Amino acid sequence: MFGIRIRRLPRIIRGDKITLRLYRLNDLPALHRCSRSVDTTPGLHAFGRSTGNLWSFKRWIGRTFQVLYLIIDHEASHAARIAGYIGLYDIRLGEDLSLSIGIFDPQHRGIGLGRKAMEHLLQALANCGAARTIQVEIAHSHVQSLAFFKQLGFDIRRQSERALLMTKTVCEDH
């Protein structure tokens, strides 16, 4: 009808031993506790940047991310727990979006949680036609993050003094 296409981001994305689900208000206390332990190395959108009281933290999330997925790990001691997040921002539906990812506990980094979560999210975004291009901004000093996104098929699009902009095309035609 009139050439308008509806694109809806999935509320829940289930994968191999992980689930991505949209952040809910009742997640806020646990998310706030997790964020206090985050070092700010994963990228420029450091999740732990604003860890004041719960209300200011909620406001910060709302201003920073248009969509926030929680990475729920089902393998950790046979109990589901929040392992990290993927935040989407600068969303232009059907065109492009930017993202930030973080795994909270340093002991759980480098074991594939982030990779699984990103692979499932990229597939879901391609399937629903939410974006053609995904981009991420990474500080030059974050060598592990650069390698992570290169392995996921992201290419360097642009460089500035402090960061690289990496992009990946997930959907050619909608």
Q: Is 155 or 174 the better-scoring residue by pLDDT?
A: 155
Residue 114, token pair as written in the block: 């982030």
**pLDDT, tens digit, 9 for 90 and up, residues 24-76:** 989 988 888 887 765 544 443 455 554 578 888 888 888 889 999 998 887 76
Side by side, the strands of the sheet bearing 67-73 are: 12-14, 18-22, 67-73, 81-92, 95-103, 131-139, 163-169, 155-159
Q: Given this model, what pLDDT does residue 4 score?
A: 53
In CATH terms, is domain 12-169 a member of 3.40.50.720? no
Confidence class for position 117, pLDDT limits 50, 70, 90 = very high
8 A C-beta contact, residue 136 and residue 155 = no
Domain ranges of the chain: 12-169
